[in-house]
Structure 1
Amino acid sequence: MIRNTAPLAFLAIFAACSASNSSNAQPSAQTASARPFEASEVAKFNEPWAMAFLPGGKQLLVTEKAGKLKLFTIGGSTVDVAGVPNVAYGGQGGFGDVVLHPQFAQNGLVYLSYAEPGEGNTRGAAVARAKLVIAPNDSARLEGLQVIWRQQPKVTGEGHYGHRIVFAPDGHMFIASGERQKFDPAQDMKANLGKVLRLNDDGSAPADNPFAKEGGVTAQIWSLGHRNPLGIAFDASGKLWDIEMGPKGGDELNLVRRGANYGYPIVSNGDHYDGKPIPDHDTRPEFAAPAVWWTPVISPSSLIFYSGDQFPAWKGSALAGGLSSKALVRITFDGESAREAERFDMGERIRAVAQGPDGAVWLLEDGEDGAGGRLLKLTPRR
Structure 2
Amino acid sequence: MKSASIQHDNGHSRRRWALAAASALAMAGMALTACTPGPATEKQAVAEPGHWAEQLIEGLDHPWAMTWLPNGDMLITERPGRLRVVRNGVLDPKPIEGTPEVLNTSIFDGLLDVKPDPDFASNQTLFFTFVTGTDSARTGSILKARLDGHTLVDQKVIFSTSAPAPPGGPSIMRILFMPDKTMLVGVGSGGQGSRGMVQRLDNQSGKIIHLNRDGSAVANGPFSKEAGARPELWAIGFRNSAGIALGSDGNVWTIDIGPKGGDELNLVKPGGNYGWPLVSWGFDYSGRAMSDMQDGPDFVDPVAVWSPSRAPGDLMEYSGDRFPQWRGDFFASELMGHVLRRLRVQDGKVVQEEALLSDLRERIRSAAMGPDGYIYVITDSAKGRLLRLRPGKPDKAESGRVAKPYALPSGGNMVEDFARRGVYQEKYTQVLFAFKYDEAKAKTLFGQNCSSCHSAGSFTTGEIGPDLNGVAKRRSGSLPGFAYSAALRDPKTAVQWDHDSLVAFIANPQSYYPGTKMMTAPIDDLETLLQITAFLEKTEPGKAGR
> What is the TM-score normalised by the length of structure 2?
0.62
* Alpha-carbon spacing, 1:281–1:358, altered in 2? closer, same or farther (3 Å): farther
Which residue is equivalent to 1:279?
A: 291
- Larger RCO: 1 or 2 (CA < 8 Å, sep 6+): 1
* Alpha-carbon spacing, 1:379–1:21, altered in 2? closer, same or farther (3 Å): farther
Which residue is equivalent to 2:375?
A: 361
The 3-state SS of whatever aligns with 2:77 is strand
Structure 2 stretches of 5 or more lacking a match? Answer: 6-36, 394-546
Alignment partner of 1:165 is 2:175: yes
Per-residue CA shift, 1:137-196, capped at 9, x if unaligned?
A: xxx111111111112201331422241111011211000001101111111100111001
Alignment partner of 1:62 is 2:76: yes
Which residue is equivalent to 1:113?
A: 129
Higher Cα Rg, which structure = 2
Alignment partner of 1:309 is 2:321: yes
Alignment partner of 1:349 is 2:359: no
Alpha-carbon shift at residue 25 of structure 1 (Å): 7.7
* Alpha-carbon spacing, 1:226–1:103, altered in 2? closer, same or farther (3 Å): same
CA contact (8 A) 2:2 2:295 kept: no
* Alpha-carbon spacing, 1:235–1:205, altered in 2? closer, same or farther (3 Å): same
Q: What percent identity do the matched residue pairs reach?
A: 34
Q: How does 1:203-214 map to 2 (within 5 A)?
A: 203-213=215-225
Which residue is equivalent to 2:239?
A: 227
For 2:188 and 2:284, how far apart are their aligned partners in 1? 17
Which residue is equivalent to 1:268?
A: 280
The 3-state SS of whatever aligns with 1:105 is helix
For 1:207 and 1:156, how far apart are their aligned partners in 2? 30
* Alpha-carbon spacing, 1:330–1:141, altered in 2? closer, same or farther (3 Å): same
CA contact (8 A) 2:331 2:341 kept: yes
Alpha-carbon shift at residue 21 of structure 1 (Å): 5.7
Which residue is equivalent to 2:40?
A: 23
Per-residue CA shift, 1:4-43, capped at 9, x if unaligned?
A: xxxxxxxxxxx3646446326878999xxx6621111111
Which residue is equivalent to 1:147?
A: 157
Per-residue CA shift, 1:64-90, capped at 9, x if unaligned?
A: 011111122123341311111100002
The structure richer in helix per residue is 2
- For 2:114, the aligned partner's letter is V
Structure 1, 315-324 or 275-284: larger mean CA deviation: 275-284
For 2:101 and 2:229, how far apart are their aligned partners in 1? 24
For 2:38 and 2:104, how far apart are their aligned partners in 1? 37
- For 1:109, the aligned partner's letter is T
CA contact (8 A) 1:225 1:262 kept: yes
Which residue is equivalent to 2:199?
A: 187
Alpha-carbon shift at residue 341 of structure 1 (Å): 1.9
Which residue is equivalent to 1:96?
A: 112
Structure 1 stretches of 5 or more lacking a match? Answer: 1-14, 135-139
For 1:334 and 1:261, how far apart are their aligned partners in 2? 23
The 3-state SS of whatever aligns with 2:152 is strand
Which residue is equivalent to 2:350?
A: 338
Which residue is equivalent to 2:387?
A: 376
Structure 1, 205-214 or 223-232: larger mean CA deviation: 205-214
- For 1:22, the aligned partner's letter is P
The 3-state SS of whatever aligns with 1:153 is coil
CA contact (8 A) 1:21 1:290 kept: no
- For 1:89, the aligned partner's letter is N
The 3-state SS of whatever aligns with 1:102 is coil
CA contact (8 A) 2:41 2:350 kept: no
RMSD across aligned positions (CA): 2.2
CA contact (8 A) 1:96 1:163 kept: yes
Structure 1, 177-186 or 337-346: larger mean CA deviation: 337-346
* Alpha-carbon spacing, 1:309–1:50, altered in 2? closer, same or farther (3 Å): same
Count the aligned residue pairs. 355
For 1:171 and 1:18, how far apart are their aligned partners in 2? 32
Alpha-carbon shift at residue 108 of structure 1 (Å): 1.0
Structure 1, 73-82 or 40-49: larger mean CA deviation: 73-82
The 3-state SS of whatever aligns with 1:212 is coil
CA contact (8 A) 1:200 1:206 kept: yes
* Alpha-carbon spacing, 1:89–1:18, altered in 2? closer, same or farther (3 Å): farther
Per-residue CA shift, 1:299-356, capped at 9, x if unaligned?
A: 1000111000000011001111000000000111113333442112141000010101
